[in-house]
Structure 1
Amino acid sequence: MSLSQVNHKTKIVETKQGQFKNSILNFLNKMGIIVVVILLCLLFSILSSDFLTWNNIVNVARQTSISAILAAGMTFVILTGGIDLSIGAIVALSGVCAVYFSGFMPAPLGILCGILIGGAAGYVNGFLTSVTRLPAIIVTLGSMTYLRGIAYVVTGGYPLMVESSFFKSIGTGYVGPIPIPVIIMIVVFVIAHLVLKYTVFGRNIYMVGGNEEAARLTGIKVTSSLTWVYTISGICAGIAGVILAARLFSGQPNAGMGYELDAIAAVVLGGTSLVGGVGFIIGSLFGALFMGILSNGLTLLNVPYYWQLIIKGLVIVLAIYIDRVRRKRD
């Protein structure tokens, strides 16, 4: 066999090895969080006999639904290379407004008003970010403060009690054996998946996140796309706020604190890059499940709350580090 033939076969083997390595890495990018969630479930099922009971599974799903819905909206924002630190405040504002309006109008209409207020808050974030070109972290940091302040003004600093049984059922009711918040979560993710995968708007989001200037040159309305993704994030936060108020039987102005960090961690753990352009919505769902299962498992193991905060903080740092490693490799 000649030297050229040996070199040719060597190149073929190296190419196949490279393709195999890339396929493994792509699989881990998309499916790694699913594997991690399964392993985490196995670990907690071994450490606690209460973990795999039906009641606990339902409890985890119901608790995760709020953070997952927030993660769905955050995915849209992060895919464009942005960030939304205001969703925790929008959760509080939408919840108290929904309860307030439900006090003198039919509960479904009051709930809709609360969600629309969340969408309006998101629209303002998107407008300021896209039109004035202010950094998203600055815009949403400011709105995180003033929106929380508005929630305190609406309530006078006190919780508003939910009187409507319909309203309460959104947070505590069931359809068959499935909690209503879980059903809402599933609907949100199905819609988000369809939008991102099968619509022009969804493709535009990926293009804007990949290269905003190139997207603009190809005719994409970048300003409109950015405004809409923050509006979607606000709507998702509004839905989460209504569910939380229904679960607590009250709209509380201090609700939702720290929720933005859980949502960001879930999205990044799910494979969405913080610089934008790369990610998928199902990964965000499993990222949220990971955070929910972690909290539940630590609680079942009687780990003190303060230590849980430390562990969750380290997970957030790990998620950002993983994203950095991923971007370097790409």
Structure 2
Amino acid sequence: MLGITKHLQTGSNKKMSNKALLMRFAPLLSLILLMIFFSLGSPFFLNTENLMTIALQTSVIGIMAIGVTYVIITSGIDLSLGSVVAFSGVAIGLAAAAGLPLALCILSGVLGGWLCGYINGLLVARAAIPPFIATLGLMMSVRGVNMVLTDGRAIYFSQYPGFKTLAQGKLFDFLPYPVIYLVVLAAIAAYILKRTVIGRYIYAIGSNEDAAHLSGIKVRKVKVFVYMFCGILTGIAGVVLASRLNSGQPTVGVGYELEAIAAVVIGGTSLMGGIGTIGGTIIGAFIMSVLKNGLNLMGVSQFWQMVAMGMVVIAAVYLDTLRKKI
């Protein structure tokens, strides 16, 4: 009788592990199935040029999504991403207007993102304001600052003709530079998250903040770091976007925060915190881009595309709920 019970328990555990494995690889399987579906639906989908276009379209949102992955793993959120991306471009434009060298202009854009991330970190970690409220407030404030600094007009970088090469150039006349930035930043972020002490602290805080505090982790400092890191990557994304547009535009980036967060969630990061990978986030970002690109090639209305994207996000959150029950 004992042997039968043990056999049943072993079978049940094996079944649960198979389900967990399936849930873990669900984003990758979804991406593969989407690519197969769209390749059958359009002869142009697997064209090399189209695939490079998808990769290029993924780069800005992907870089932002990498940063917000850290935030969401700690069970936080950052709604200011779109405004901060625009602020980064505006900072570059103001630096250029002041006659600073191109390198310092680019640095100004990255530092603009860092500053916004640092303010978010202070509001969340030090002032104990809920992340949703803190970042929502900054989103509105920074968008207003962008308009005030530029009087609502775009700032063009005509004095730096080489600036657009940063995002519009290609390695070996084939691979867009922004894709390279995405890969390099993803590798660095994945290493920090998986191979360093700060990475373990981030997971610990997301899993159980009180337990992390009692174990000696300086929760506030880690949270400030997480939002700063997110801000820096958003600043880099802003530099890339400004280079693509060859201008700093105060109104750009509206809705980008939702796309970045959606990519993170689709990639398997739990909104409850404690679970998530950079690889999953990159897959999630590509799912979003492939879905948009494939539906465009098939002539689907943009309105229906929005419906499809919303359904994908809901399905991803539902999968996360199922995973919690396994």
TM-score bracket, normalised by the shorter chain, equals over 0.9
Amino acid at match of 2:171: V
Contact residue 97 and residue 154 of structure 1 kept, 8 A: no
1:245 aligns with 2:239: no
Instruction: Name structure 2 gaps, 5 residues minimum.
Output: none
* One-letter code aligned to 2:169: G
1:323 CA displacement: 2.2
2:83/2:254 contact within 8 Å kept = yes
Tell me the secondary structure at the aligned position of residue 166 of structure 1.
coil
Mapped pair 1:115 → 2:119: no
Mapped partners of 2:265, 2:204: distance in 1: 19
- Equivalent in the alignment of 1:266: 263
**Rounded Cα–Cα distance in structure 2 between residues aligned with 1:240 and 1:100:** 17
Q: In the alignment, which residue of structure 1 is the partner of 2:9?
A: 15
Stretch moving more, 298-307 or 183-192: 298-307
Q: Say yes or no: does 1:173 pair with 2:156.
A: no
1:130-149 correspondence to structure 2 within 5 Å: 130-149=125-144
The answer as to 2:82 corresponding to 1:76 is no
How far did residue 124 of structure 1 move?
0.4
For residues 154 and 314 of structure 1, the distance between their equivalents in structure 2, rounded to whole angstroms, comes to 38
RMSD of aligned residue pairs (Cα, Å)? 1.3
Per-residue CA deviations over 1:200-234 (Å, capped at 9, x if unaligned) read 00000000011111101111000000011111111
> How far did residue 94 of structure 1 move?
0.5
Structure 1 runs not aligned, ≥5 long = 1-6
The answer (yes or no) to whether the contact 2:38–2:45 under 8 Å persists in 1 is: yes
Alpha-carbon deviation of 1:14? 2.0
SS of residue matched to 1:165: coil
1:156 to 2:162 alignment: no
After TM superposition, list the pairs within 5 Å mapping 1:291-306 onto structure 2: 291-306=288-303
In structure 2, C-alpha distance between the alignment counterparts of 1:162 and 1:28, rounded to whole Å:
49
Q: Cα offset for 1:273?
A: 0.7
Runs (4+) off by over 4 Å: none
CA contact (8 A) 2:167 2:241 kept: yes
Aligned ranges for residues 1-330 of structure 1 at < 5 Å? 7-103=1-97, 104-163=99-158, 164-176=160-172, 177-327=174-324, 329-330=325-326
Measure, in 2, the Cα distance between the counterparts of 1:314 and 1:144. Answer: 25
Aligned equivalents of 1:22 and 1:313: distance in 2?
Answer: 29
Question: Structure 1: which amino acid aligns with 2:104?
Answer: L
- Maintained 8 Å contact 1:129/1:139: yes
**Deviation at 1:10?**
2.1
Counterpart CA distance in 2 for 1:279 and 1:287 is: 11
- Displacement of 1:168 after TM fit? 0.4
- Alpha-carbon deviations, 1:63-86, whole Å to 9, x = none? 001111111011100000000000
Deviation larger for 43-52 or 241-250: 241-250
Moved more, 263-272 or 177-186: 263-272
Would the aligned equivalents of 1:81 and 1:274 in 2 still touch at CA under 8 Å?
yes
Give the distance between the partners of 1:99 and 1:54, measured in 2 at CA: 34
Identity of counterpart residues, as a percentage?
43
Aligned counterpart, 1:4: none
- Paired with 1:25 and 1:115, the residues of 2 have a C-alpha distance of 42
Separation in structure 2 between the aligned mates of residue 102 and residue 19 of structure 1, nearest angstrom:
61
Compute the displacement of 1:102 (Å): 2.9
Q: How many residues align?
A: 323
Could you tell which deviates more after superposition, 154-163 or 215-224?
Answer: 154-163
Q: Which amino acid aligns with 1:198?
A: R
Q: Is the 8 A contact 2:113 2:231 kept in 1?
A: yes
Distance change in 2, residues 1:13/1:102 (3 Å): farther
TM-score w.r.t. structure 1 length? 0.95
Query: What TM-score comes out, normalization by structure 2 length?
Result: 0.96
Kept in 1, the 8 Å contact 2:242–2:248? The answer is: yes
Q: 1:193 Cα shift? A: 0.5
On the 8 A contact 1:99/1:111 being kept in 2, the answer is no
CA contact (8 A) 2:170 2:177 kept: yes
